[in-house]
Amino acid sequence: MAIVKPFKAVRAKRDKAALVSSKSYEVYTPEMLNSKLAFNPYTFLHVINPGYKYHKQDITGELRFKLVHNRYLEFKEDEIFFQDELPGFYIYQKITATNSFCGIISATSVEDYHNDVIKKHEGTLKERELLFENYLKNTGFNAEPVLLTYPDNDDISSIIKKYTKERAEYEFSSTDKTSHLLWVVNDKKDVAKIEQGFKEVDTLYIADGHHRSTSSCLLADRLAKENPNHTGKEAYNFFMSYLLPESQLSIYEFNRFIKDLNGLTPHEFLIELDTIFRIENRKQELYKPKEKHHFSMYLNGEFYALYLRKSLYNFTDSLSRLDAQILYTTVLKPILGIEDIRNDSKIVYSQDKSDSLELKTKVDSGEFKVSFGMLPTTISELKEIVDAGLLMPPKTTYIEPKLRSALTIYEF
């Protein structure tokens, strides 16, 4: 039974929503960031890049976090932001050239995270957890929701359909030719229906935002200990999430690029691979796998198809059947000597959504010796691994939608 709650969002007025909301801070190059800051006084980037006001953008640590809070207060004082009077849910639809996503922004429960109702599929880095916990403590808000997915539910879908037939509170397009629509759900009966609908959902799966959710839970635990009158109903016991039906989730793969062959020549490397894979030389054909446990490889100017010799591989659990794990246990670790696939500088990852030719071009450039491609992980694989209490290797999934910051803000 998942606990989701309505909340009084802080958000931009209708006429400024397109100007205020932004992509995640991390996707902007320095040039793009400076351009946005210079020409748009309303962008939320001014809040999370507070040093720009003083022509000093290298402010870090707790001082930066406190200045973020100050800029946030200024946006409220200047009435760029206002807070809804009634608690509600927010239906957000994102429409791209290839996909349409429509889900519900809500407050989700730290208790559910601790009780494994909200489940994760990736490990997190303690340093980043603590850094973001400190950020949350100093700023006092969530501006970018955690992406959670759940099995499709007819009752929840019917409420979404009811509202999306009406005029949206926000309706605008961003410069990447994406449409954004937001509906406010504050009718008490519909709010209750949404809450009840999610009580019928046994599990919510974190699709994107593992560090944000973990950090929110760390902060909630800390504040609970510091509060002698803690009840469990305080705002810090929840974090903002975007709840999306699993049928709408898009999962793409990450390609692997390796900088050296661990002392082997290309021919010696192929011979090593032959012990666990049946190998076909596809020469200049841009080969992409068509089945699970098949891999594409680009080496020394040619494409190869690698087919796992299943009789020689030990399938023990759902994780061992995952292509990313198979590549790690059969090639990356034993042959190429890459044990720490998160931090080893010999391996680089690139999501394969837009440029399949990268497998070839990055190796041909001389920067890498070999590249590997595979099929995307399915939502069924992800859930099976998570439900078994296991974690997937880093950079196994590139998941969409990627969510904007400051469409709605959750204060605690």
Query: Residues 182, 186, 187, 193: is their CA dihedral positive or negative?
Result: positive
Q: Is residue 219 part of a domain?
A: yes
The answer to whether 309 and 280 are in contact (CB under 8 A) is: no
Asked if 307 and 387 sit in the same domain, the reply is yes
Q: Which range of residues forms the domain containing residue 153?
A: 4-12+82-250+400-411
| Count of CB atoms situated within 10 Å of the CB of 30 | 8
What lies within 8 Å, CB to CB, of 361 at 6+ separation is none
Residue whose entry in the numeric block shows the structure tokens 């509906």 = 183
Cα angle 289-291-294, degrees, rounded to a multiple of 5: 60
The answer to whether 32 and 176 are in contact (CB under 8 A) is: no
Asked if 119 and 208 sit in the same domain, the reply is yes
Asked if 211 and 295 sit in the same domain, the reply is no
Q: Is residue 300 part of a domain?
A: yes
Asked if 292 and 220 sit in the same domain, the reply is no
Q: What is the pLDDT of residue 355?
A: 62
266: cis peptide before it, omega within 30°? no
Asked if 156 and 227 sit in the same domain, the reply is yes
Q: Is residue 18 part of a domain?
A: no
The answer to whether 411 and 10 are in contact (CB under 8 A) is: yes
Asked if 275 and 209 sit in the same domain, the reply is no
* CATH code of the domain containing 317: 3.30.1760
Task: Mark residue 27 as left, alpha or beta (left: phi above 0; alpha: psi -120 to 50; beta: remaining).
Answer: alpha
Asked if 263 and 242 sit in the same domain, the reply is no
Asked if 185 and 275 sit in the same domain, the reply is no
Q: Is residue 33 part of a domain?
A: no
Consecutive sets of 10 residues in the chain, 412 residues long: mean pLDDT of each? 98 98 92 95 97 86 96 98 99 98 99 98 94 98 98 97 98 97 98 98 98 98 98 98 98 97 98 98 94 98 98 96 98 98 96 79 97 97 97 95 98 98
Asked if 186 and 153 sit in the same domain, the reply is yes
The answer to whether 49 and 37 are in contact (CB under 8 A) is: yes
Long-range contacts of 187-195 (CB under 8 A, 24+ apart): 190/159, 190/162, 190/163, 191/6, 191/87, 191/88, 191/89, 193/155, 193/159, 194/4, 194/6, 194/89, 194/104, 194/106, 194/156, 194/159, 195/4, 195/5, 195/6
Q: Is residue 111 part of a domain?
A: yes
Q: What is the pLDDT of residue 56?
A: 82
| Count of CB atoms situated within 10 Å of the CB of 375 | 17
Task: Tell me the C-alpha distance between 201 and 90, whole Å.
Answer: 19
Q: Is residue 218 part of a domain?
A: yes
pTM for the model stands at: 0.94
Q: What is the pLDDT of residue 387?
A: 97
Asked if 258 and 223 sit in the same domain, the reply is no
Q: Is residue 106 part of a domain?
A: yes
Q: Is residue 35 part of a domain?
A: no
Domains in the chain: how many in total? 2
Asked if 258 and 235 sit in the same domain, the reply is no
Asked if 176 and 262 sit in the same domain, the reply is no
